Chain A
Amino acid sequence: MNLTLKIWRQAGSSDKGGIHTYEVSGISQDMSFLEMLDVLNEQLNEMGEEPIAFDSDCREGICGMCSLMINGEAHGPEVTTTCQLHMRSFKDGDTITIEPWRSAAFPVIKDLVVDRSAFDRIIQSGGYISANTGSAPEANSVPVPRDNAVRAFNVATCISCGACVAACPNGSASLFLGAKITHLGELPQGQPERWSRVVDMTAQHDHEGFGGCTNIGECTAACPKEIPLDVISQLNKDLRTAMRHGH
């Protein structure tokens, strides 16, 4: 198939960016979306134009490195990551607009590549259980009720890609934050630091410039791992409890 691509190009974080239009031909429907961009980049390289920078690594939907707003949707039209989106979701003659994640807290580094280090700093502020190596008790000494374990796992599937932020009209990272609060809060091992964790991580979230949540739900619709919206309810509940306890 032949496609028209309108792609955001930006030389560096302090440079002004803009949409450039490219034509690609000979795209097979079996290609992944990123392989389609590989084809374009080979063409550009041949013509002497610098290839378009975009992030990807595992290309099997688990590392969370790939991103892209595709026709205004985070990771494009399917519920999956961009690397697992295939060209059979498009048709011959389509025009596709490709932009980097939209969020002030994820500044553009170059072209379609953004800086998501804010997520690391949120984890640093409390997204862990303090358990020094060697100090752990026997693994089966603390049973975890299966329902708690299952919920913890379901929300721990978050891959920190940032689609929730990119999709949110407020640029909030509440889904990401709520997923981590819920994952650790469901487990007995996570209880000792539960209240300080939610307060510290929320403060860091706000400090990074992410917006507040107004329950729109775009985040969960865009999430390639289908993290449910109720983690934000859990986040708010834990935050209220923590405040009441004077944290």
Chain B
Amino acid sequence: MTDMPDTTLTGDRSHDGPSPGQYDDAAGYYVAGDPIADTKAPDGPIDERWQTRKFEARLVNPANRRKLSIIIVGTGLAGGAAAATLGEAGYNVKSFCYQDSPRRAHSIAAQGGINAAKNYKEDGDSVHRLFYDTVKGGDYRSRESNVYRLAEVSTNIIDQCVAQGVPFAREYGGLLDNRSFGGVQVSRTFYARGQTGQQLLIGAYQAMERQVKLGTVTEYTRHEMLEVIVADGQARGIIARNMVTGAIETHLADVVVLASGGYGNVFYLSTNAMGSNVTAAWRAHRKGAYMANPCYTQIHPTCIPVSGDHQSKLTLMSESLRNDGRIWVPKKAEDCTKDPRDIPEEDRDYYLERIYPSFGNLVPRDIASRQAKNMCDEGRGVGPMVGDFRRGVYLDFADAIARLGEDAVREKYDNLFDMYERITGENPYEVPMRIYPAVHYVMGGLWVDYDLQSSIKGLFVTGEANFSDHGANRLGASALMQGLADGYFVLPHTIRDYLADGPFESIDESHPAVAEALESVQARIDKLLSINGNRSVDSFHRELGNIMWEYCGMERSAEGLRKAIDMIRELRREFWTDLKVLGTADSLNQSLEKAGRVADFLELGELMCIDALNRRESCGGHFRAESQTEDGEALRHDDEFAYVAAWEWAGEDEPPVLHKEDLVYTAIEMKQRSYK
């Protein structure tokens, strides 16, 4: 979907607010650990680093590749592309997904497009400009060497996808079309109408299925990874549950790759798929993989609002709607239940136009989201009551229809208007749309080095599951780019350097690390089924989501986060004593699957709050009430927080250990974003 035009003005970096050095908000909630000194990024000019690394990465000769085995968890763009590519190279790949087919991974739902620095429009685009836009968009909280590499391989992705038959939009001359997208001034986004994600994923899926037929890739669908096996300091396999038979299976390999997606469902309601979960990543975290910047969450302003307590998921609509729609709420709370068409012009508050006269309805995502929340918190939200508030604001096309005519509006937006009407039953040509922000992506994830290797040797992490490329905020059309960059062009090079030392000493189920992993998985399943309490899994998940949304959502404060941590701890205790899961372990049991995932979300949620509490600055999607300018804008503190917060698991009920990776920019200058 289209994003906003450039809303990022640059200016000199300023330090207006008080220095936060005097604070340690998260004191007592964590333990300081050693800094991360080496990320394995090569030295030298930024545009030569990836070439250097590729050259230095050792080779594995084709005859040896078939003796090496790779486990890949997840079949979205990052996992599917990696499975296909590594299978083509001749390795033995085992691919796992919880869906019934690899083609259903949630990359499929991405709508808008994929960025690449092709410069087909000859409008001044380049690898360096894509790199610059991505670092700036991420509010200077990403690792520059990784982002540069992402921009560098972006052009290869488009070539690869076209060769696979991905039906990108084309111009009449038969060449590829581009459109402009979030936070940039060039047209570099390739797209396939409103379903770019599905088309790219089908390309990767078909390439992977070809390898299944050729025997290099074995696929395990309806399998859920429940544990990583770490033997003698190296990731050597996984424990997975066959979701149809309930069998607990051991799968061993020379290396393990997690491409298991993001954890937005910790909020219960999000635009993620119902099954999207953190379990694979969290199990790895508990075995030693650091979790980086878990509090960085992107909340998208133009989603269809919650209609009641039954709501199971939220649906995103293109924020291009803000180009023609005007956002407002009633000035008076007593008008909130009226038919909006009966509210006269003078009683409407077009609050974005009022607060941000120069950008109006086109302010960036985080601002639009936060102000919608503020209006609803003031009691001026519209639509049905959800909890104590009405959670919705109007997005009104009456002016656009009067100005352009209904046909012109239909031409631009009819698929979105249809989708809206199907879900809400209201005709947006006649009644203003109602919108509300929703969680849809997480920038945080498992910490990886330049090679995409986690802090567990032999465990690589790709796509949304890692933290590496988007800093504190992801630009539109960059998630698909990163997934495919990792899967097709980055991991296959870096993993070979690791595999050049293999095949590693063979292990089997008698190895103590395997036995321990098997035992812990079995014990956990037995426990979940034997609590026999009173509450359903969904009720716990919903309650956790409410806590996260309220205190670790669009605006966070030290007081709120401390409260949330207490509430989550109490909820977790209740979960393990009052959960009710029916059915058995030896058959398809969707309640049991959900219970395992929610158990992990209950631990992740606490870490997200601790991370948010520690980061007493506002950056990208993380807004701390204590760190804002006089005008209420986000205020970064580069002197204190220009680092990646990588958290190490220290054990049940033990405070996590914080390792800091300093962010050093050599090819780019840090600046403060401004919107006015």
Question: Using a CB–CB distance below 8 Å, which chain A residues touch chain B?
Answer: 11-12, 28-32, 34-35, 38-39, 42, 45-46, 48-51, 53, 55-60, 62-65, 80, 84, 86, 88, 109-110, 113, 115-117, 119-120, 123-125, 127-140, 142-146, 149, 152-153, 156-157, 159-160, 183-184, 187, 189-190
Please judge, given known A-B contacts A62-B109, A128-B209, whether A53 and B590 are in contact too, CB under 8 Å. yes
Contacts of B315 in A (CB 8 A): 59-60
Closest residue to A44 on the B side, CB-wise?
B582
CB distance from B192 to the nearest CB of A (A): 6
* Alpha-carbon gap, A152 to B174, bound state (A): 13
The answer to whether A120 and B209 touch across the interface, beta carbons within 8 angstroms, is: yes
| Chain A CB within 8 A of B357 CB | no
In the complex, chain B residues whose CB is within 8 Å of the CB of A159: 198
The reply to whether A57 and B106 form a contact with Cβ atoms under 8 Å apart is yes
Contact (Cβ within 8 A) B160 A133: yes
Considering the complex, give the chain A residue whose CB is closest to the CB of B243: A109
Q: 14 pairs across A/B with beta carbons < 8 Å?
A: A30-B307, A31-B307, A38-B538, A60-B271, A60-B315, A63-B108, A65-B104, A119-B101, A120-B221, A133-B84, A139-B118, A149-B174, A156-B192, A189-B162
Name B206's contact: one of A39, A117, A123, A153 (CB within 8 Å).
Answer: A123
Identify which of B173, B213, B310 gathers the most chain A CB atoms within 10 Å of its CB.
B310
Q: Which residue of B lies closest to A127 (CB)?
A: B206
* Assembled-state Cα–Cα distance A153/B583 (Å): 43
B205 at the interface (CB under 8 A from A): yes
Q: Which of B99, B164, B202 is within 8 Å of A57, CB to CB?
A: B99
**What does DSSP make chain A's interface, helix, strand, loop or mixed?**
loop
Residues of chain A lying within 8 A (CB to CB) of residue B307: 28, 30-31
B81 surroundings in chain A (CB, below 8 A): 133
Q: Are B165 and A143 in contact (CB under 8 A)?
A: no
- Hey, which bits of chain B sit against chain A, CB under 8 A? 81, 84-85, 88, 99-104, 106, 108-109, 118, 120, 156, 158-165, 167-176, 192-193, 195, 197-199, 202, 205-207, 209-210, 212-213, 219, 221, 244, 271, 273-275, 307-308, 310-313, 315-316, 384, 422-425, 488-489, 492, 536, 538-539, 580, 582-583, 587-588, 590-591
Min distance, Cβ B300 to any Cβ of chain A, angstroms: 13
Cβ 8 A contact of A153, one of B163, B176, B192, B539: B192
Partner of B176, one of A29, A50, A56, A140: A140
Closest CB in chain B relative to A231 CB, distance in Å: 14
Tell me which residues across on chain A come within 8 A of B101, comparing CB atoms: 64, 116-117, 119-120, 160
Q: Are B165 and A35 in contact (CB under 8 A)?
A: no
Choose among B167, B172, B197 the residue with the greatest number of A CB atoms under 10 Å from its CB: B167
| Distance in angstroms between the alpha carbons of A141 and B101 in the assembled complex | 33
Whether B99 pairs with A187 at a CB distance below 8 angstroms is no
* Interchain CB contact under 8 A, A64 and B312: no
Residues of B within 8 A of A129 (CB): 163-165, 206
A23 to B527: give the CA distance in the assembly, Å.
Answer: 32
- The listed residue with most B CB atoms (<10 A of its CB), out of A12, A117, A146, is A146
Q: How far is the CA of A135 from the CA of B160 in the complex (A)?
A: 8
**Complexed CA–CA distance, A190 and B165 (Å):** 7
Give the docked Cα–Cα distance between A144 and B582 (Å).
Answer: 55
A133 to nearest B CB, angstroms? 4
Q: Chain A contacts of B108 at CB under 8 A? A: 58, 62-63
Are the C-beta atoms of B312 and A59 separated by less than 8 Å?
A: yes
